[in-house]
Structures are given as C-alpha cells and as structure tokens.
A and B are shown apart, each in its own frame.
Chain A
Amino acid sequence: MAYKWGMAVDLDRCTGCEACVIACGAENNIPTVGPTEAARGRAMPWIRVERYWEGEFPDVRLKFRPVLCQQCDNAPCEPVCPTYASHHTEDGLNAQVYNRCIGTRYCANACPYTVRFFNFFNPTWDKPLHLQLNPDVSVREVGVAEKCTFCVQRINAAKTEARADGTNIKDGDLQTACAQSCPARAIVFGDLNDPDSEVSRLSRSPRGSLLLEEVGTKPKVTYLSRQSQA
C-alpha cells in the first residue's frame, strides 16, 4: 500500500525552542546567508517558529507556531510550475526537482504559507564547514526554488531498508530531522494511510486544525491547539 506522509504539531507541547530549525538546516544542507542577505529576507529556513503577540502589558500573550511546507494535497505551488519541477509524488509529497527548475518563482508566489525559498546566489560554506554537508541531500544552486521535503532522503532510505526486509516502514522507525530533535515531542511524523499510526491518531484530535484551511489547500500538517486556561 502506498504511504501518505503527514505531520502533527502539538502547539500545547511546543516550547518555541527552535531545535527543529537548526536540525533541519543541518540535515538538509541549508546554507546560512549572512547578515546582509538575511536583512533582505533571503534566509531560507525550511521550518521556522512564528510568534504572535496578543494583548498589552501586563495582559500579554505570546504564541508559537512552527511553520514548514504543509505538503498540501491540493497544492497551489504545483500547477503554476511551467516545467513540472514542482510536482506531486505517489506518497503525496510536494516535491521539487531542482534540475528542472528554471527559477520563475511562481511556486513561491502561489504558496500561501511562504515556505518556498529562492536561491538568489550560489550557496557557500567557509571551509571546512562544508565537511558537515549531508551527502544524501543535493546542494541547491543559484536560480532554483527549494523547500521542506519531509526529509525525503530519510523516507527513501527507510523504504529501501523495508523493501530489503520485505516489510513496510513501521510507525516510529522513520522521523524527520525536526521531529527527531524536538525535546517536547511536539512534532510527530508518520504515515496517514496507517490509521493506527501516532500521526493519524493525533490528526483526528478534536484539538486539531489546518493552517489557512479556508483556502482549500488540504494540508497534511495538522496543528493541535494550545489548551491555555487562565
């Protein structure tokens, strides 16, 4: 049976520590762009922790929400791509084929979540920082769009391993980098086609909601609301 990869983010567990942000960058060869380019909005965090202030001192509240590609079933980024660089995989991922991408940036403009990033220049690593680069993940060159892949390199490795064993990937055997590092276990990744997987269970929670559900993108990331009670 095909997999359908999904994620649940429990905002009642999330502490805003941003371990996910660095874990993602380390796993996926995301370059740092430096202060000048960062000031122009050219940093490329595939996952970020958004924060929202509410109220005024002293009745002030602050809420965190990790935002990454929502891997939409009805993804606005896909039909706008003239070269099919942005496409839907069998597992339901919104994939990006870097060497098909011609850099129109239509996908990034179409995405309501601002989670697609454009490489305005070739990435650089001051030697020997490049020794850390993950050989399982392509380094993206100037002129292409990139985004969260749900750590597709880990998915593919797990699939290969499971196939060799003649089994399917078991729930919990495969984690994205962000989920693996999360101290509070706020991020859970897994197969939505398996009704018994933890991510399926959490996605059915009455606390669950989808980000910008009303725009009809059918995201595969479910957010479980914070249960604050004063």
Chain B
Amino acid sequence: MDRRIFLKVTAVTGAGTTLASCDAPVHQLVRFIPEETHVPGVAEWKPGVCPICQAGCGVLVRVMEGDAEVVRNGHAGVVAMGLAKKLEGNPEHPINRGALCARGQAAVQLTYHPDRLTRPRKRVGARGSGQFKDVSWEDAIAELLSKLEALIAAERRSALAFLGTPGASARADLVDEFLTRFGARPAARFELFDNDVLRRANELSFGRYQLPTFDLDQARLVLSLGADFLGTWNSPVSQGAAYGQMRQGRVGIRGRLIQVEPRMSQTGANADEWLPARPGTEGILALGLARVVMSENLRPAAGAGRAGALVDGWPAGLLDYTPEQVEKRTGVAAARVERLARQLANERPSVVIIGGAPLAHTNGLASALAVNALNALLGSVGEPGGVSFMPQVGRTNPPASRPALQMLLADLLSSERSPIDVLLLDGGVNPVFGSPQAWRTREALLKVPFIVSFAPFLDETSALADLVLPDHGFLEGWDERRPESGARVAVRTVAAPALRPLFDTRATADVLMEVGRRLGRPLELPWQTFEEMLASTFETVPETPEGDGWTVAKRHGGWWGAPATSAPVVRPRASTGEPPTPTPQRVGDPQFIGDQAAFPYHFLPYASQAFLDGSVAHLPWLQELPDVISTAMWSTWVELNPKTAARLEIRQGDLVEVTSPHGALRAPALVSPGLAPDVVAMPVGQGHEQFTRYASGRGANPVNILAPTAEPVTGALAWAATRVKIARISDPDGSLIMMAGSLHEHPEGGRD
C-alpha cells in the first residue's frame, strides 16, 4: 500500500472506525479533569524528607506533569498530574548538604512501586497467606473503631499496643499522645540495627541519650572501631560529606583514617590502615590505647579538665591493659597498640568512633563506655575535630527499661490468653524478618486476636494483619523528622505533600486522629489534622524577615538553628558522684553462643550497602546495584577468607550451608580477601519470604539463625555474638550474580 492509497482508505473507513470503537469500552480512554495545573515540560522542585533511614536527610523532588492511570469513583482512567521524576539532596539542609546516598536516590521507587497497597484490605484467607479482599475506608475504619470500643467496654484499654520504628518525629509524638489518651501500652519500637547500646553509653558518659556527631572535616586522625560510617551507619551522607573535606578540603592537611574490624567494610576500604581485631575486642583495644596514653604521659593538656571526671584514677584501674595483654586478647600487635596510641595523642584533633558490630556483643556497652572515656582522655569531646552532640528540638524519647519489642513478645508467649487484643503495626516495621527465629516473633504475633497494619507494602509482618490501612506513599503526605546526629545545629526536616496520592490511601497520622475523634468518648487530641499538629509545633519558632517559622520551614524543607560558633559543650555526667555502671575501666571478653569446637567460626551479619536491614530490598534499582565490595547484584552470599575456603574446598559460587546452634541456611559462597580466616560474614537484607515481586524468595536471611543473646544492661540483641559451622553442599546453583565477572576486571598495579 503506498501513501496515496493509504490516505484514501483511511478517509473512507475512518468515520466507521471511530464509531465502532465506542462499542468497545476497553478501547476508550477516560481522561479525568486534572486536580492541579502544571506547565507541561517545566519542572517544579519541592522539598521532601528522605524516608529510608533515621538520618533524616532533606530532599528536593523534581515534579513534572505526566499522565497517570488512576481510579476515580470506581472508574479507571487517565489524569494529568504532578509526578516525581528525580530526587536530589536539599542543598540548604545542614545534614546532607545537597547530596544523597544510593538508597535515598532510589526512594522515589517507593512511590511508584508496582506492588504498593492501593486501598484498604481485609484478610479473607488464613493469617499470613496474603489473601485479602478490598474494603472501603468507611468500613475499615468502622471495624477498627468497633474493636477499640470493645476494649473500652471490657475495661481492657491496655490491651491496645502499637509497634513501629524508632526515631524522633511529630508522627511518633502523635502516636504516643494517642496511646496515652486511650490508656494503651506505650508504643514499642524496633529496628534490627538500632544503636541503643551507644545511646545508653552516651547517656552514662555524657548525659545525652543520643547518637554522636563527628566533626570529621576538622579531624586529623580518625580511628574507627567497626563503624561503617561512610556506608550504612548513623548518618552516612553527612559523614561522607565531612570525610571528603577531611581528605582534600583543607590546604596542606589531609586527615587520616584507621579502621579496626574483622571484615573490611566499605569504610574500611577507604582507610589508610586497616587492622583486623578479634570480634568483640574493640573496647579492650580502646582501653589499651588509653593506658599507653596515660602511662607515657601523652594526655594532652586540653583533655585534662573536661575529661577529668571520666578518666581520673585510671592508671591504677588499667593495670590489665598493657600492650602485651591487649595483643593477647585482641590480636593487634603490642607495638602497633603503642604506635596507635602515640598517633592518636600526637596527630590531634583525633577522634575515636565505635559503631556497628563491636556494640552488638555481650560487652558492647562496656566497649562504648571505654571509647567515650578514650575520647575524653584525648580531649576530643565537644572540641573541633572531635565528637559532640547535635542540639535537639523537643524531647528525646526516654529509654525503655527493656527493649520494648522483646517485652511485648515475652508477654505474648508467656500467657495463655493474649494480653493484647489489638495490635497496630506501623509501616516499615518488620520484626518477623528482622529478629532471630529464636525470638519466635511470628508465633507471638499470631496470638494477637486482631492486627491492623498501616504498611504500604505486604511484608512478612504486615501479611499477618487482619486489616490493612495503607499509608500514603513517600512524598504524598506531610512528613517531619528530627535527626539526632549529623549537624552542628538543631534540625527539623519537614515537608508538605509534593504529590497528590496516586491511590486510595490515607495518611496514618490523619487516620489516627479520625479514630480518636469518632470513638464514643473522643480522645480529644488537640489537633484535627496532622498538618495542623505540625504547624502548631512551629509556633515557638521565631519569626524572620522571610515570614513566620512554619511558612519558612515549609518553603525550605525544614528548620535549622543558627550555626553555633563552636561545637556544643557536653559535660560528663560523672560529676554527680554516681559512678556509671558498668565502669568504663573494664571491658570483659565477649561471650559467644556456640561451642568453639562444634561451631568454629564467628558469624558476622552486616547491614548491606543496598538494603541496610532489608527494609528497602523491594526496590529494583537497589536490587540491581552491584555491592561495591563483592560486585554482586540480585543476590546474597556467604563471605569466606580465601584460606578458609581453600581448606574447606569451597570455590566461589558453591552452595554452602551455615549452621548455628539456632538454625541453618544455604547461600552461595563468595571468597573475599578482606575477611579474617575465623569469620564468616553475610549481608543482611535478602531472604525475604514475602516482600513484593522483587525481593520475595531471593536468597537467605542471616538474622534467622542468630542466637537470641543480648547485651546484658540494655537488653539489645547481640547480633554479632553467634558462632557457626560451615559445610559445602554443591556446585554453584547460579544464584550468585556478579557484575565484575562480565567486565573482565584486571587489577592495575601502581595506578593510584
């Protein structure tokens, strides 16, 4: 058919075709009237809050008009609406200073994920089967209300419980207020890699139940004990920015980094020196360093005054920490201990960081206290180039006497009748995945008669719910966070909705307020909407020429205090005369679960670069991100030292079985030079049974086989204290997918 005939034919048949298409509704494109106006092709930048971790970075989202398929009043159609195209760091934000990490960049996929829950659902199948039916918001909220009214009628108000993730925010305050007014139990909060041991240590040492901020950009020497502060720990973007400055941001000064850890982390790879110490002996090393500093009189004059309370009387107390004894216990050579101590004392400002696995041992709190004291001794507390605490807005959540999730689980498992009738599960909290099987989390939660989840995705925990009331997606609702670390000034990150909700979801904060209003005897929360609550918390912020505090915060993506001229001063608490327990002068040997003969290897699970604790394993961009150490994608693996692998006749990719006293798992082996021969390491994040099409059924979850042992004072899970054995099962099963394998990588000697 040439062009002329084609035109003739279309002219004749065109009218008919148009009419014919009206009969088949499937060919009709219903276009709804847009609810907002955008200039096509022109981008608007709106502030947002990164939801991925507790760092609380500020983002800017690029919003442009596009066509989205939506459902309106039961009709499917298309509407032009503002869509999120790209996230960038908010350049004004004091924590991330315009940058974002890989996980933050991928956060936009939370909103446009194909397996997001699009409307309220009610369970129809067995619990955990994932079988639900759609219900209306009206019916869903009515059902929740009837359950709550039943609690009130039965005088069992305390049988209402809430389980969420940690972190200070207005939303957390609202939940607390709701629970208090209702008369429910206090909210339980859980995150596998939470840093409660370090917070508790800082409370004992400095009176601040808070994570520390490190002034890396002014430091000359940084000693990091196991903290992957450039990759996954605390506030990685803020710390990465400061690290860049520390290395090349000053004329003539290049700060140095020494990393101590049994497995080379991303941070360890950047260190000038890397020292593998025996797992769990980092605090012993810190005391050995302190002893050398004192016995050689290297203690800087500046350190004496403020540090006094923490370190006075130490020389007598550190008799057992001679370099030789430290070598015996930690595996770090005595001469190296002495040299390291002299470097810390001479290359000032110097600072010591402890985080991650060293605190996940039975002696974790003692190790953290030892490092706090060492920093005080070095004169690095509250000084430029040292460690300090970020000023905080509002109250910080007081530490529970025992970790709240364990308390909840113990209550559930120990009693015949569940002490909890209704459990509210917040989005993002997934203890069924993130806790050892030995905790029997799933079994405990199944005893609760009625579970309501606010999760935007079905995961191992939210799949147990009877009623799912999905929260708005990231960027679709009001958000606010109060970061505890990473800046010199107080920060509140805040953002208005940047996008209209794509689906029939509702902001959990507003749902709670509605429930509070509609109870027979209303809870009388002081606000009608979450927006109103946020605005009210900004009333005390002073007005500036730009406008009142609330308006300015909305425009800039948050509020931050004026830059302090120097790092905030922190006073050691010991001046009250009450000696902190346990004393910083003693770090015991770590205790491990598993007999050394039967279970010869230390098992080291670690937060993975792409997935952290696994809560973002459902994002396809992160699944396909090659791990920077192993270059593996879409995979999980068991890391082995080359000598260990050779002895066990295990080759790269072979399927191996890792067995602990509390379970076993199978995964492909990855032979990695940066790992001690007596350690077996494994990234956390994969091994989801149920977490969207991208993460479900992929790999194994190392958390499953951990022993349920705890740091004794805080009760926090000692996730690095399990021993394992390892056995080869079979040849490669093809599940280990490496990027470097196809890129013909050759080491280039002497290139840099």
List the interface of chain A (C-beta within 8 A of B): 10-13, 15-19, 21-23, 25-27, 32-35, 38-41, 43, 45, 48-58, 60-65, 114, 126-135, 177, 180-186, 209, 223-230
Contacts and interface: CB of A to CB of B under 8 A. Distances in A.
B436 interface: no
A19 B323 CA distance: 41
Contact of B102 (A22, A27, A226): A22
B99 A19 contact: yes
B752 A22 contact: no
Contacts of A40: 742
B674 A43 contact: no
Contact of B86 (A17, A26, A35, A65): A26
Contacts of A130: 112
Nearest to B626: A48
B45 interface: no
Contacts of B569: none
Contacts of B64: 135
A64 B269 contact: yes
A3 to B, nearest CB: 23
Nearest to B275: A58
A81 B709 CA distance: 63
A25 B635 CA distance: 20
Nearest to A39: B737
B742 to A, nearest CB: 3
B68 A26 contact: no
A131 B166 CA distance: 31
B747 A53 contact: yes
6 contacts: A10-B247, A15-B240, A17-B240, A17-B266, A56-B642, A114-B743
Contact of A62 (B83, B269, B623): B269
Contact of A22 (B106, B114, B241, B244): B106
Given A22-B621, A39-B737, A132-B84, A183 B248 contact: no
Contacts of B31: none
A35 B736 CA distance: 10
B192 interface: no
A10 B269 CA distance: 15
Interface of B: 41, 64, 66, 68-69, 83-89, 96, 98-106, 108-109, 112-114, 230-231, 236-238, 240-241, 243-244, 247-248, 254, 256, 264, 266-270, 272-276, 502, 609, 620-626, 628-629, 631, 633-635, 641-643, 673-677, 693, 698, 734, 737, 739-745, 747-749, 751-752
Contacts, number: 230
A147 B674 CA distance: 32
Given A17-B230, A51-B631, A128-B502, A57 B737 contact: no
Nearest to B97: A183
B89 A181 contact: yes
B244 A183 contact: yes
Contacts of B104: 19
Q: Interface centre among A40, A65, A131, A223, by most B CB within 10 Å?
A: A131
B648 to A, nearest CB: 16
Contacts of B633: 35, 38, 43
Contacts of B99: 19, 180-183, 185
Contacts of A53: 673-674, 747
A183 B55 CA distance: 14
Contacts of A60: 264, 274, 673-674
A38 B231 contact: no
B86 A225 contact: no
B733 to A, nearest CB: 12
Contacts of B624: 32-34, 38, 43
B248 A15 contact: no
B621 A25 contact: yes
A51 B502 contact: no
Given A43-B624, A51-B628, A57 B276 contact: yes
A137 B56 CA distance: 30
Nearest to A43: B624
B673 A55 contact: yes
Given A22-B102, A129-B113, 10 more contacts: A16-B266, A26-B106, A33-B624, A49-B628, A63-B269, A135-B66, A180-B88, A181-B100, A185-B244, A230-B272
A132 B240 contact: no
Contact of A17 (B68, B236, B247, B273): B236
Given A15-B243, A132-B83, A134-B86, A52 B114 contact: no
A181 B88 contact: yes
B626 to A, nearest CB: 7
Nearest to B276: A58
Contacts of B254: 12, 227
A153 B241 CA distance: 27
Contacts of A61: 269, 274
Given A57-B676, A114-B744, A183-B244, A132 B112 contact: yes
A10 B243 CA distance: 12
A23 B100 contact: yes
